[in-house]
Copies of this chain bind each other. A is one copy, B any other.
């Protein structure tokens, strides 16, 4: 049963229990381009209490450097090395976990941020933002030559996804059983300030359906993301809390990693999904309406 936090004492106890605070961003700190009320004050309180603050996002459209600009624009203090995105985690996974040989390439369905993170890890990419693949002109297999060096297909959110990219990715995967099928994350939807749009999971769904198999997903709730964080930051899982707005990504991610979890209700998950008559099997340790509720801890 999730503990509903409401009094100053509840929040003070929470603060005492956890030294490392992992935050999802969209739906927790902001919604599209609108800051959640009180988010900056609460991050300030945590920093003044010498808590470690890390940002863990499935957003793979931006590199960490570019994602930092979003924090700057909304005047939220953050450092690039505190930001962990699924694009960065995917790059680390390809270079360090599956150890794709350097002469191999990755065919990308995704945006510039994903390409940048891969290229920073020394990975050669095809597709992605290449103008030749960002087209609605009909794709014909006979005008195309498959590059035998492609050793993985990686899908992230791509608002320029099209039949040419999907067809090439599909061909790489069916023609070479050793070609890895990867997704930055499987979020079904993507929250914007004006409503939901199809998420990264929807972008890889055509390949999933055409191939009849699922990709290896790197972002939350998979453990790969936490491995990336562990490689860069020392923290005690028993004194770490994951704050998020989605049960099946953020909260499950925290639980998979042995962390405490705090659900906020400013994003995707609605209160009835947790406290209603047919609650989700994924139960967070704590619930609060908004990250702004922790403002009561401030001066």
Interface residues in chain A, defined as those with a beta carbon under 8 Å from any beta carbon in chain B: 134-136, 138-142, 158-163, 166-167, 170-171, 174, 188-189, 192-199, 201-203, 205-212
- CB of A210, distance to nearest CB on chain B (Å): 4
Whether the Cβ atoms of A159 and B170 lie closer than 8 Å is: no
| A contacts with B: majority SS | mixed
The answer to whether B163 and A136 touch across the interface, beta carbons within 8 angstroms, is no
Name the B residues within 8 Å of A141 (CB-CB).
192, 194-195, 197
Q: What B residues does A160 contact at CB under 8 A?
A: 136, 162-163
Contacting pair A171 B159 (CB below 8 A): no
Report whether A170 and B197 are in contact in the complex, using a CB–CB cutoff of 8 Å: yes
Looking at the complex, which one of B192, B194, B198 makes contact with A163 (CB distance below 8 Å)?
B198
Complex: how many Å from CA A205 to CA B141?
A: 22
Complex Cα distance, B158 from A201, in Å, reads: 20
User: Complex formed: what's the CA distance from A201 to B194 in Å?
Assistant: 29
Q: Across the interface, which residues of B come within 8 angstroms of A196, CB to CB? A: 170, 174
Q: Which residues of B contact A163 (CB under 8 A)?
A: 158-161, 197-198
Partner of A206 from the list B135, B139, B206 (CB cut-off 8 Å) is B206
How far is the CB of A43 from the nearest CB of chain B, in Å? 28
Instruction: Note all chain B residues with C-beta closer than 8 A to A162.
Output: 136, 160-162
Q: Count chain B CB atoms within 10 A of each CB in A135, A158, A162, A201 and give the residue with the most.
A: A162
| Residues of B close to A134: CB separation below 8 A | 136
Knowing that A198-B207, A202-B205, A202-B209 touch, tell me 10 more A-B residue pairs with CB under 8 angstroms: A136-B136, A141-B194, A142-B193, A161-B162, A166-B202, A174-B196, A202-B210, A205-B205, A205-B210, A206-B206
Q: Which residues of chain B have C-beta atoms less than 8 A from A210's C-beta? A: 188-189, 198-199, 201-202, 205
Chain B residue contacts of A198, Cβ below 8 A: 163, 166-167, 170, 206-207, 209-210
Cross-chain contact B142 with A194 (CB below 8 angstroms): yes
A-B pairs with the 8 shortest C-beta distances?
A141-B194, A202-B206, A205-B209, A205-B205, A202-B210, A198-B210, A159-B163, A142-B194
Shortest A166–chain B CB gap in Å is 5
* A133 to B247 alpha-carbon distance, docked (Å): 33
Chain B: minimal CB distance from A128 (Å) = 13
Task: Enumerate 21 A-B pairs (CB-CB under 8 Å) in ascending A order.
Answer: A136-B136, A139-B197, A140-B192, A141-B195, A141-B197, A158-B163, A160-B163, A161-B162, A163-B198, A167-B198, A170-B196, A170-B197, A174-B196, A188-B210, A198-B210, A201-B210, A202-B209, A205-B206, A205-B208, A205-B210, A206-B206
